[in-house]
Chain A
Amino acid sequence: MNQLPLLSILTFTPLIGAILLLFVNKNSHGVLRTIAMAVTVVTFVLSLPLITGYNAPGSDIGGFQYLENIPWIAAGPFQMSYHLGIDGISLWLVILTTFIMPIAVLSTYTAVEEKVKEYMICLLLLEVGMIGTFISLDLFLFYIFWEIMLIPMYFMIGIWGGKNRIYAAVKFFIYTAVGSLLMLVALIVLYFKAGGGDFSILRFYQLHLDPTTQMWMFLAFALAFAIKVPMFPLHTWLPDAHTEAPTAGSVILAAVMLKCGTYGYVRFAMPLFPEANAQFTPLIATLSVIGIIYASLVAMVQQDVKKLVAYSSVAHLGFVMLGVYALNQQGVTGGMLQMLNHGVSTGALFLIVGFIYERRHTRLITDFGGLAKQMPVFATMFMIVTFSSIGLPGTNGFVGEFLVLLGSFESNLRWYAIIATSGVILSAVYMLWMFQRVMFGELKNPKNQTLKDLNAREVAIMLPLIFLIFFLGIYPRPIIDSMAPSIDKMIAQTKVQKQVAEAAVPAVPALPPGHMAVPEAGAAPAGMPAGHPAMPEAGAAPAGMPAGHPAIPANNEAK
């Protein structure tokens, strides 16, 4: 279909950039920054054809496209392939990565003055790891990219971080490494259960494992991903890492790396082990809800703006997990959108914290107050981002959170959804309270009276993010449309056992997942439309349902 190995080019452009940087004099900061910027912009531009090319007419709609499959390590019985491909789920995460990277690079122009060369190399290597993680279809390759991400991030936190940087870096590393090593064991076991051959995820999807094996392997995979997400109670590395990391590091960590965890659930842990997944759904949903509430409460009492944003991350990812585990069209779509939204809005929040930190070298809320008078442009942008993070209608946060809550309400996670809703209110409380204390009130502190507003570069960093906040808030349809077929496939795969049992059920039912479904299914309104905006064959959905706003009509119907 497509002769050009676009995904490989995409993955290794940053690597070539990093190698190029090795040969630049370490004192010519301008050249280093320009090259890094150019490389990330080129990568972003290269990734754009994926959007238009995905689901091109005649392709495998919703399946994996842009496939590349080259035997890589083949010895004896062993087969590992360099197997790449994207579907609607990974497509947008790749775009998010390539989109965030230039912003991250641009944000370092004044923030990083020391060891610029090493910093830029770390950033570019990180991009290689992140893109690779999202596009690998071979589990072994996935594991390698997954681990490659660790090293540059470790260095970024440890070298350019704050006071406690080494502690934070080591904690980050050990937490993540322990989880992924257990995943490695599970991966090898999975390979044997599949009976040799290669490590292709597509082949593993066909397996039917016995429940006990599924349980252990699900636990190993889920642990690795839960640490990365991070889910309560494994989240403790995150506030440390975020607080100590330099701005660009925090932005990337929040915007992209945490998504690797949730992506891991959607791509691997859930569809590979459907029965175990159903079994553990209550546990994961409980942890997600605890995460939402607990992190929101902790965020409320934070003195440090950056820590507050870090805890808000934990809460937001709780929403993502809840949506994904609703395992219906709205829920998973909401979860996916929420991943992108969180990337945009929390990325923006960390940038904002970075701006203010560069000016004042403090992040304590009590050191500020009344900044709105001194920095009107900054105040406006901060406001918009805050609203997006709270999930005000019209911003991106609303669409995602709403779909998540709707989806989980319709599934058998109804009570979880009801409790999680309080998280929405809590998020408004901690964000707005923080905003009020930082931006409004009297401009008492003399140091704050000389603050300069955002300069052109900083505005240029923020504008694309603000554009996306509104774009995703008002017209998310193109994204939902291109994700929907892949999400259907993922749901069908995860519910495969059930479908075998109820072979008569047509298409993808909007039934709750797993075996506990039966009693509650009756309670849920029969034929509740799955919010299938994009699928023409979703006959159950009322005709003419505007796909751009799946949330609003669905809401009416729920009433």
Chain B
Amino acid sequence: MTISDLYTIMPIVITAGAALFVLLCGPMLLSASLTAIGVTASAAAGLWAALGTPASTQAVSGLCFTPLARFLIPVFCFAAAVTLLLSHSYNERRGIKGEEFPATVLFALFALCVLPCATNMLILFLALESVSFAFYILVSMDLNRAESGEAGLKYLLMGAVAAAFTAFGFALLFTGSGTLQLSGALARPDNRAIISAGWGVILVGMAFKLSLVPGHLWTPDVYQGAPAPVSAFLSTSSKVAAAALLLILLALFPPMPELRVPLAALSVLSMVLGNLAALLQQNIKRMLAYSSVAHMGYLSLALLSGSRDGYAAVLLYGAVYTAMNLAAFGAISSLSIDEERELVTDYAGLGFTAPLRGGVLALAMISLAGIPPTAGFIGKFFIFYSAIKGGSIALAIIGILSAAASAYFYLRVVAQLYMHRSQAPAPRAVSLAEGLALCLASAMILVIGVYPGPLLKAIDTALQ
């Protein structure tokens, strides 16, 4: 290992260092400065990754700055920075004190940065589980609300089961291929059965992580119970990480014929049930949770195509979904007063009394519904494009119809924001950090929606 090798994995070093620094020096510093350190570290790590060039050799054993990492790390860092910006004033209002919060976010970011760099199945697994570990803590961070603790416990139990499945799957893949190395591991044809079994078990684990039906049961409770900024981070980064893990594995062990049927079933069930369940929700966070089930269904539709276009669509959708959900949960977090506004009807009239946050929430909803000129449309377009190219026209039509139905519940929020009289208590003024975070997220939504060219190019290089 040389210094130049270290440079390539600098984002990991930065985030790890920042997490430790915040944890150790936290008691001596103001909480505002801790947040500032966290945001700076995330931004620095993201920029470093975005501007760096992918390395062909391992920096340390098990880690290599791959083209995929170059694309994903900035996405993760963006999510973490926005989360930190949002959480500062939210935590003050909710009485969540201490340096643990920014430190845990940074620790999660560190694990997220490791994940796409992994060249070894063990590192991959450890990274994934570290991410989950950080989220178990973050979800139950709000000690004043019983739901938060309940959500944490639920997530922990479900997550542990999922982790067991994933670990078992990795073990089977190891048995089948004879190596833990991700670079050289090629399935020997005679071991196809074992590899397929491994894939099946991993798929179960990932269905939990991605909250695909029937592994979605934890999602509404956890989203509802977790503090809103945490929901923002959880619903974006942990999903993208799980999708990235599947991408990495698919690139090496491509047993697509066997995977097709289960993946198609997961995808259709998630799209249809997710959207149908979301139609019935009165609580906005539960609604977004079911919507996230549906969106992960779209994402697995693209995975199903098994083509380069499909994988590109997955990465694109990951980035797009990150921007959309950060904006949505960000607005929810920022519009909260002493308590969060839980019901959709609590948002009545806020489009006019809080124009920025109402506008961001409306934009996020329109984007989630997949209406141009927002990022959501571009993301959906490429998903369905790759699905149709891969020959699953029937699935694509099911997906599109369920997406059309989903417009109803997204628009219900917009209707509340703009078309009902306000009964809700007036929102407080937006803080600078929140405003910045919301503007960043909505700028992403609009820029990707109008001019996705550069992002598509970046994805193209990431898939090499």
Task: Classify the interface of chain B: helix, strand, loop or mixed.
Answer: helix
CB pair B312–A76 under 8 Å, yes or no, is: yes
How does the 8 Å CB contact mask read for B363-394 relative to A, with 1 for contact and 0 for none? 00010000111000100010011001100010
CB pair B419–A158 under 8 Å, yes or no, is: yes
Of B17-25, B145-153, B424-432, B451-459, the stretch lying at the interface with chain A is: B451-459
Query: Hey, which chain A residues are within 8 Å of B366, CB to CB?
Result: 151
Cα distance A10–B204 when bound, in Å?
A: 54
Nearest neighbor of B396 in chain A, beta-carbon distance: A185
CB pair A144–B377 under 8 Å, yes or no, is: yes
CB pair A75–B460 under 8 Å, yes or no, is: yes
Query: Hey, which chain B residues are within 8 Å of A242, CB to CB?
Result: none
Cα distance A169–B451 when bound, in Å?
A: 29
CB pair A147–B456 under 8 Å, yes or no, is: no
Question: How many inter-chain residue pairs (CB < 8 Å) link A and B?
Answer: 87
CB distance from B452 to the nearest CB of A (A): 6
Asked if A181 meets B456 with Cβ closer than 8 Å, knowing A166-B419, A188-B388, A189-B393, the reply is: no
Enumerate B332-390 residues with CB–CB distance to A below 8 Å.
Answer: 352, 366, 371-373, 377, 381, 384-385, 388-389
CB pair B400–A181 under 8 Å, yes or no, is: yes
Q: Is B407 an interface residue (CB 8 A)?
A: yes
Cα distance A77–B404 when bound, in Å?
A: 28
How does the 8 Å CB contact mask read for B386-423 relative to A, with 1 for contact and 0 for none? 00110001001100110110011001101100111000
CB pair B411–A154 under 8 Å, yes or no, is: yes
Cα distance A60–B411 when bound, in Å?
A: 45
CB distance from A73 to the nearest CB of B (A): 5
Query: Hey, which chain A residues are within 8 Å of B393, CB to CB?
Result: 185, 189
Q: Is B142 an interface residue (CB 8 A)?
A: no
CB pair B384–A188 under 8 Å, yes or no, is: yes
Query: Hey, which chain A residues are within 8 Å of B99, CB to CB?
Result: none
CB distance from B230 to the nearest CB of A (A): 31
Cα distance A77–B312 when bound, in Å?
A: 12
Query: Hey, which chain B residues are within 8 Å of A143, CB to CB?
Result: 372
Number of contact residues on B: which range applies? Answer: 35 or more
How does the 8 Å CB contact mask read for A180-192 relative to B, with 1 for contact and 0 for none? 0110110011001
Query: Hey, which chain B residues are within 8 Å of A158, CB to CB?
Result: 415, 418-419
Q: Is B129 an interface residue (CB 8 A)?
A: no
Q: Is A409 an interface residue (CB 8 A)?
A: no
CB pair B371–A159 under 8 Å, yes or no, is: no
Query: Hey, which chain A residues are within 8 Å of B308, CB to CB?
Result: 76
CB distance from B350 to the nearest CB of A (A): 14
Query: Hey, which chain B residues are within 8 Å of A165, CB to CB?
Result: 419
- Among B372, B397, B419, the residue within 8 A (CB) of A159 is B419
Cα distance A173–B414 when bound, in Å?
A: 12
Nearest neighbor of B408 in chain A, beta-carbon distance: A174
Query: Hey, which chain B residues are within 8 Å of A75, CB to CB?
Result: 312, 452-453, 456-457, 459-460
Cα distance A177–B420 when bound, in Å?
A: 23
CB distance from A124 to the nearest CB of B (A): 15
Q: Is B309 an interface residue (CB 8 A)?
A: yes
Query: Hey, which chain A residues are within 8 Å of B460, CB to CB?
Result: 75-76
CB pair A115–B352 under 8 Å, yes or no, is: yes
CB pair B371–A177 under 8 Å, yes or no, is: yes
Cα distance A495–B407 when bound, in Å?
A: 38
Asked if A76 meets B404 with Cβ closer than 8 Å, knowing A143-B372, A173-B411, A185-B396, the reply is: no
Q: Pick from B414, B451, B452 the residue with the most CB of A within 10 Å.
A: B414
Cα distance A467–B388 when bound, in Å?
A: 51
Q: Is A433 an interface residue (CB 8 A)?
A: no
Q: Is A148 an interface residue (CB 8 A)?
A: yes
Enumerate A331-387 residues with CB–CB distance to B below 8 Å.
Answer: none
- Among B312, B371, B385, the residue within 8 A (CB) of A188 is B385
Cα distance A77–B384 when bound, in Å?
A: 15
Cα distance A174–B371 when bound, in Å?
A: 12
CB distance from B400 to the nearest CB of A (A): 5
Query: Hey, which chain B residues are within 8 Å of A415, CB to CB?
Result: none
Nearest neighbor of A76 in chain B, beta-carbon distance: B460
Cα distance A192–B391 when bound, in Å?
A: 11
Query: Hey, which chain B residues are within 8 Å of A174, CB to CB?
Result: 404, 407-408
- Among A72, A144, A159, A192, the residue within 8 A (CB) of B389 is A192
CB distance from A187 to the nearest CB of B (A): 9
Query: Hey, which chain B residues are within 8 Å of A148, CB to CB?
Result: 372-373
Query: Hey, which chain A residues are within 8 Å of B381, CB to CB?
Result: 184, 188
Q: Is A74 an interface residue (CB 8 A)?
A: yes
Cα distance A148–B446 when bound, in Å?
A: 13
Cα distance A165–B415 when bound, in Å?
A: 10
Cα distance A159–B417 when bound, in Å?
A: 10
Q: Is A31 an interface residue (CB 8 A)?
A: no
Cα distance A181–B380 when bound, in Å?
A: 11
Query: Hey, which chain A residues are within 8 Å of B418, CB to CB?
Result: 155, 158-159
How does the 8 Å CB contact mask read for A268-309 relative to B, with 1 for contact and 0 for none? 000000000000000000000000000000000000000000
Query: Hey, which chain A residues are within 8 Å of B420, CB to CB?
Result: 166
CB distance from A477 to the nearest CB of B (A): 39
Cα distance A159–B351 when bound, in Å?
A: 11
Asked if A147 meets B377 with Cβ closer than 8 Å, knowing A159-B419, A188-B385, A189-B393, the reply is: yes
Task: List 5 additional A-B contacts (Cβ < 8 Å) besides A75-B460, A147-B371.
Answer: A73-B456, A177-B371, A182-B397, A184-B384, A185-B396
Rank and list the top 6 A-B pairs by shortest CB-CB distance, nearest first.
Answer: A75-B456, A144-B372, A158-B419, A178-B404, A147-B372, A181-B400
Residues of B within 8 A of A (CB): 308-309, 312, 352, 366, 371-373, 377, 381, 384-385, 388-389, 393, 396-397, 400-401, 403-404, 407-408, 411-412, 414-415, 418-420, 451-453, 456-457, 459-460
Can you offer 18 A-B residue contacts whose CB atoms are under 8 A? Answer: A75-B456, A75-B457, A75-B459, A76-B308, A76-B309, A76-B312, A77-B309, A144-B372, A148-B372, A148-B373, A151-B371, A158-B418, A159-B418, A166-B415, A181-B400, A181-B404, A184-B384, A192-B389
